[in-house]
Amino acid sequence: QQQQQQQHDTDADGGGGGIGGSAARRRPPHFRRHHHGHGHGDAASAHHPSRKRQADGRPGEHYVPTGILKANFFRKHFASIPAVAVVVATFAHGDGGREWAQLQTTVEARVSAVRRAMQTRDARTILVLLPTPNPQAAAHTEADPLGASRALALADDVDLGERVTALRRFSGLEARHVAVLEAEDVAQLGQAMRRFFGTLRSEAFSYYLRSERRVKAFEKAASRAGLPPEVNAVLSARYFTKVAFFYEFQNNREKLSKYYAQAYDNCVRGVPRSGDWLWQVKELCEALNLKLCAAHLADGAVAQAQRQFKRHLRRFASPRDVGYAPWRHEEWLMRQHMCFAEMLNERSAAGTSDDGGRAAY
C-alpha cells in the first residue's frame, strides 16, 4: 500500500508517471482550455465542460471537445475519490440494550452520510467495529492477559454476533462489508484482520474494474457515433488514458501498457497539433511516455523502455508553434531527457528483486 501511495503522490504532483516514481515530478503537465501565448496558465481554468451523453453512452449532438483530459483527472482519483469507504465505530463489550441501540442509530447515520457523499460513484462502504475493553477485564491475571481478557469479553457478550447482524441489516450492509476487529486481531494480524484486508483489497480492485469497463463502453459508443476524425481522436486518447489509468490501479502492467500506447498513438496521429492543442498533445504524451517507460523498466525490459523513449523524441524532434519563446521546445526536450535519466538511475539504485530481475517501482 505504501508503494501504491508513493505512485499516487507522483501522479498527484504531475499527472505523469504513477509507476515511474519521482522522475515524473519535475514538471506537472496542465491541460489548458484557453491558449495564452504559450504561457502556463492557471490549472483551475484548465478543463473542458462535462460531456452530455445519450442513453447508450454516445456523445451528445454537436459535441466538440475543448481539451483532451481534465487537468485534475489524476489528482482527483488519487486524493479525492475513494475506491472504498471505511466507517469505523467503537463499542464496549457488555454494553446494554440502550447503548447498543444508540450505537446502531449513530452507525446508520454515518453510513448513510458516506453513501450520500459517494452517490455519484459506484464505490462500496465497509463498517469496522472496534471493541473497547470491558472495565472488569482490568482485573485479569498477568500470567495470561490476552486470554483472560478475551474470555471475559466473550462471556459478557455472548450475543455479539446477533447484535452485529442486526446492526448491519439496519445499516443496509452486506455481511462481508462488516468486520469486528479485537485488539489482538490488529496487533497480531489475526484471521479477522486478514479477512478485512482481503475484503478491502477485493472491493478496491472491483471498483477500478467497474470504472475501466464503464469507460470502455463510452469509447465503444463514441467510436460508432460517426464523429469527425479529429473529435474521435481526442475522445479515444481521453478514454484510452482513463482505461490504462484504472488498469494501473489494478497493477495490470500488460493492459496498462497496451492502453497507454493506444492513447499515445491517438494523441500524436489524430489530435490537431496547432495552437494550444499542440501543447496539450506534448504534455499528455510526456506523461504517457513516462508511464510506458516505467512499465517496461518495472518488467526489466530496459531495451524496450529505451526504444519507447527514442520514438517519443522522434515524434517531437522538430519545434512547432513556439511563437515568441523558441526556447520552450528545448526546455521540453531537456525535461524528457532528465526524467528518463532519473528513472534509469532509480532502477540502477534499486537493483534487481527476487522476482526474476524486475526492479521495484
What letter does residue 77 receive in the DSSP assignment? Answer: I
| Shared domain check, 99 and 43 | no
The cell 469479553 sits on which residue?
153
Helix axes 276-298, 229-249, angle to 10 degrees: 30
* Contacts for 320 with CB less than 8 Å, ≥ 6 apart: 273, 278, 329
Q: What is the pLDDT of residue 74?
A: 87
Q: Does the residue 360 lie in any domain?
A: no
| Shared domain check, 246 and 326 | yes
Q: Does the residue 357 lie in any domain?
A: no
Q: What is the pLDDT of residue 216?
A: 95
Q: Does the residue 174 lie in any domain?
A: yes
Question: What secondary structure does DSSP assign to 152-201, as a single string?
Answer: HHHHHTTTHHHHHHHHHHHHT--GGGEEE--HHHHHTT-HHHHHHHHHHH
| Shared domain check, 269 and 165 | no
Q: What is the pLDDT of residue 100?
A: 87
Joined grid coordinates for residue 73? 483527472
CA angle 319, 325, 331 (to 5 degrees): 60
| Shared domain check, 246 and 294 | yes
The cell 468486520 sits on which residue?
179
Q: Does the residue 336 lie in any domain?
A: yes
Measured distance CA(116)–CA(29) in Å, rounded: 33
| Shared domain check, 315 and 242 | yes
Quote the number of domains for the chain. Answer: 2
| Shared domain check, 88 and 180 | yes
Contact between 111 and 127 (Cβ < 8 Å): yes
| Shared domain check, 125 and 21 | no
Q: What is the pLDDT of residue 135?
A: 58
Exposed, middle or buried: residue 63 (CB in 10 Å: 0-12, 13-18, 19+)? middle
Q: Rounded to two decimals, what is the model's pTM?
A: 0.73
Contact between 121 and 81 (Cβ < 8 Å): yes
Q: How far is CA 102 from the centre of its chain?
A: 36
Q: What is the pLDDT of residue 41?
A: 36
Give the torsion through C-alpha atoms of 203, 207, 209, 212, to 10 deg.
-170
**Range 42-51 contact pairs with CB under 8 angstroms and sequence separation of 24 or more:** 43/71, 43/72, 46/70, 46/71, 47/71, 47/72
Joined grid coordinates for residue 270? 489524430
Q: pLDDT below 70 — which residues of the chain?
A: 1-58, 60-61, 134-158, 321-324, 351-361
Q: What is the pLDDT of residue 5?
A: 42
Beta bridge partners of 355: none
Label residue 300 left, alpha or beta by phi (over 0 means left) and psi (-120 to 50 means alpha).
left
| Shared domain check, 127 and 102 | yes
| Shared domain check, 260 and 311 | yes
| Shared domain check, 317 and 277 | yes
Domain span at residue 294 reads 2-68+215-350
Contact between 301 and 352 (Cβ < 8 Å): no
Pairing type for strands 178-180 and 84-92 reads: unpaired
Q: Does the residue 202 lie in any domain?
A: no
| Shared domain check, 318 and 242 | yes
Q: How far is CA 260 from the centre of its chain?
A: 15
Measured distance CA(191)–CA(187) in Å, rounded: 11
| Shared domain check, 117 and 52 | no
